[in-house]
């Protein structure tokens, strides 16, 4: 008992003898085959397990357009809204509804500002700002009826990433790497890349968006920087060889393991694993980030240049990470908050991502990875069909009752348009989908039953899909 810290003793005694016995059986592993998940996926809460097997997806690439891209200029054409441009927004749509920055303002219809064209076998209407995406529309499922609960940026990001507006919950990347482990031996299972375009103040993104929350911290996302050192303080100090560094890591891990044999603290196990992973990353990350190894035609297809830190470069890095076995890869492009300057800046943002997103799909298809990679393109919410003019040149306000996202790969029906909004694009009305539904569908494609995938926290069986209920969007699956 003299080796047992007060914190560890209290933690153990509050768990109860049954939980203590069970904990030894549930010791996390850093990596695992997708057919042999490291955890029983019920977290000891719901029972019955959560891994049903047969998942089409081995990994997820989530393309986040931070700030809330306007679906009305990109994905959801509204001729009626164009006809009413400048007219008062009918009160029947907005009366008693939550608005972000338009409360008390005169609400005027604001028609789509850019033309749409028809693409693909099914002649799907898509913005002319997205010609490369349009060329790949037969591989994409466009969901026009997505909704979310939050109406301001940070809580909306929290909700999209964690299924809750409450800070401190695990991100979906953490949930997935906790449940399935990682196939990467020398890289984190959950990696984050950020980029921004020129001209605007970047949309703030907090590291809590890829936090592991109440899950063990070894499952949190690791941000790789697109310029300079990919990971700060990763390199060995000057004068210290890689072999000397390895000997230090081995000695520290041995001391930590000895201490952990007495206190059985998950965070000590995390520390051991992260020291070892950091050591392995010293050799793996520099090679990974060196896209000069790619063929010139590959760089040209993505539209990126060596070391430019662009969204296009990050899409290429996402493919390289996927090849290395990283389970969850999340990209943030941080310039989509168009309360003003919508006409001026939306074309710039669309151009920065359009070619690269299409190239990522084509690249994965050529390498035989599209069939087991789930790609999601999403903001944190949509934009209003009413204009906003109180911040300069006209734009659109935040909106949570209608947004568009697209998904592709890993058992998703390509060429499908799922759901619809009303004639003015104010609210989803056909096949309404929620963030929880999207998460449930994602987990299903990974072979996980979202209802059984829980983790005991503060006496409750917490889960990514929340307590409100969620459905798998079966109609978008093959």
User: What is the pTM (predicted TM-score) of this model?
Assistant: 0.84
Q: What are the counts of helices (DSSP H) followed by strands (DSSP E) for the chain?
A: 14, 16
Q: Is the torsion defined by CA of 273, 275, 280, 286 positive or negative?
A: positive
Rounded to whole angstroms, the maximal C-alpha distance in the chain is 78
Confirm if 340 and 346 have CB atoms less than 8 A apart.
Answer: no
Q: Please report how the helices 342-366 and 311-324 are oriented relative to each other, as an axis angle in degrees rounded to 10.
A: 30
The β-bridge partners of 421 are 428
The residue among 308 and 149 whose pLDDT is bigger is 149
Which is more confident, 223 or 269?
223
The phi and psi torsions of 327 (rounded to 5 degrees) equal: -80, -40
- Name the band, by pLDDT with cuts 50, 70 and 90, for residue 1: very low
Structure confidence at residue 227 (pLDDT): 64
- What is the pLDDT at residue 272? 55
Q: Model confidence over 12-27: pLDDT tens digits? A: 443 433 333 333 333 3
pLDDT at 10: 43
Which long-range contacts link 268-273 to residues 24+ away (Cβ below 8 Å)? Answer: 269/27, 269/28, 269/216, 269/218, 270/216, 270/217, 270/218, 273/30, 273/218
Residues of the chain above pLDDT 70, percent? 79
- C-alpha span between 358 and 301 (Å, rounded): 9
Of the candidate ranges 114-128, 204-218, 222-236, the one whose mean pLDDT is the lowest: 222-236
User: pLDDT for 408-448, tens place per residue?
Assistant: 999 999 999 999 999 999 999 999 999 999 999 999 999 99
Angle between helices 266-289 and 311-324 (to 10 degrees): 120
150: pLDDT confidence band, cut at 50, 70 and 90? very high
Cα of first residue to Cα of last residue in the chain, in angstroms, is 57
Mean of pLDDT over the chain: 85
Per-residue pLDDT at 305: 87
**Interval 329-368: pLDDT, tens:** 999 999 899 999 999 999 999 999 999 999 999 999 999 9
Q: Is the pLDDT of residue 176 over 60?
A: yes
User: 86 pLDDT exceeds 80?
Assistant: yes
- Look at the alpha carbons of 236, 238, 244, 247 in this order and tell me if their dihedral is positive or negative: negative
Residue 147 neighbours by CB under 8 Å, 6+ apart: 400, 401, 402, 403, 427, 428, 432, 433, 434, 435
**Which residue, 75, 149, 172, is CA-closest to 421?**
75
Instruction: Give the distance from CA 49 to its chain's centroid.
Output: 25
Mean pLDDT over residues 169-190, rounded?
Answer: 93
């Amino acid at each position: 008992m003299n080796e047992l810290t007060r914190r560890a003793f209290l933690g153990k005694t509050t768990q109860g003898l049954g939980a203590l016995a069970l904990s030894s059986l549930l010791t996390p592993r850093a990596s695992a085959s997708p057919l042999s998940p490291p955890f029983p996926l019920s977290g000891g809460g719901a029972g019955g397990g959560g891994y049903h097997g047969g998942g089409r997806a081995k990994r997820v690439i989530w393309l986040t357009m931070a700030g809330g891209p306007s679906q009305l200029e990109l994905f959801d054409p509204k001729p009626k809204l164009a006809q009413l441009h400048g007219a008062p927004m009918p009160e029947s749509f907005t009366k008693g509804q939550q608005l972000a920055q338009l409360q008390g303002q005169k609400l005027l219809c604001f028609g789509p500002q850019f033309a749409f064209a028809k693409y693909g076998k099914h002649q799907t209407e898509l913005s002319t700002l997205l010609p490369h995406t349009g060329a790949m529309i037969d591989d994409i499922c466009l969901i026009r009826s997505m909704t979310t609960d939050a109406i301001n940026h940070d809580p909306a990001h929290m909700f999209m990433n964690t299924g809750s507006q409450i800070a401190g919950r695990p991100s979906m990347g953490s949930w997935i790497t906790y449940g399935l482990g990682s196939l990467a031996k020398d890289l984190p299972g959950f990696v984050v890349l950020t980029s921004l375009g020129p001209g605007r103040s970047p949309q703030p993104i907090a590291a809590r968006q890829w936090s592991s929350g109440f899950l063990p911290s070894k499952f949190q996302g690791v941000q790789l920087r697109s310029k300079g050192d990919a990971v700060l303080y990763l390199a060995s100090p000057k004068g210290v060889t890689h072999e000397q560094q390895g000997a230090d890591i081995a000695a520290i891990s041995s001391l930590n393991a000895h201490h952990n044999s007495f206190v059985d603290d998950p965070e000590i196990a995390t520390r051991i694993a992260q020291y070892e992973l950091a050591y392995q990353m010293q050799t793996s990350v520099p090679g990974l980030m060196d896209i000069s190894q790619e063929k010139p035609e590959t760089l040209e297809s993505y539209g990126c240049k060596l070391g430019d830190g662009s969204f296009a470069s990050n899409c290429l890095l996402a493919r390289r990470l996927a090849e290395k076995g990283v389970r969850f890869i999340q990209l943030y492009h941080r310039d989509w908050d168009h309360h003003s300057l919508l006409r001026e800046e939306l074309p710039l943002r669309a151009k920065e991502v359009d070619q690269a997103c299409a190239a990522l799909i084509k690249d994965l298809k050529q390498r035989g990875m599209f069939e087991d990679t789930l790609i999601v393109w999403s903001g944190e919410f949509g934009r209003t069909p009413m204009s906003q003019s109180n911040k300069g040149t006209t734009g659109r306000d935040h909106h949570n009752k209608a947004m568009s996202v697209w998904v592709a790969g890993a058992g998703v029906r390509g060429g499908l348009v799922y759901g619809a909004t009303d004639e003015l694009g104010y609210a989803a009305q056909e096949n309404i989908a929620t963030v929880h539904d999207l998460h449930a569908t994602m987990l299903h494609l990974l072979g996980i039953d979202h209802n059984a995938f829980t983790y005991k926290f503060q006496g409750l069986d917490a889960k990514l899909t929340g307590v409100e209920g969620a459905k798998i969007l079966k109609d978008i699956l093959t």
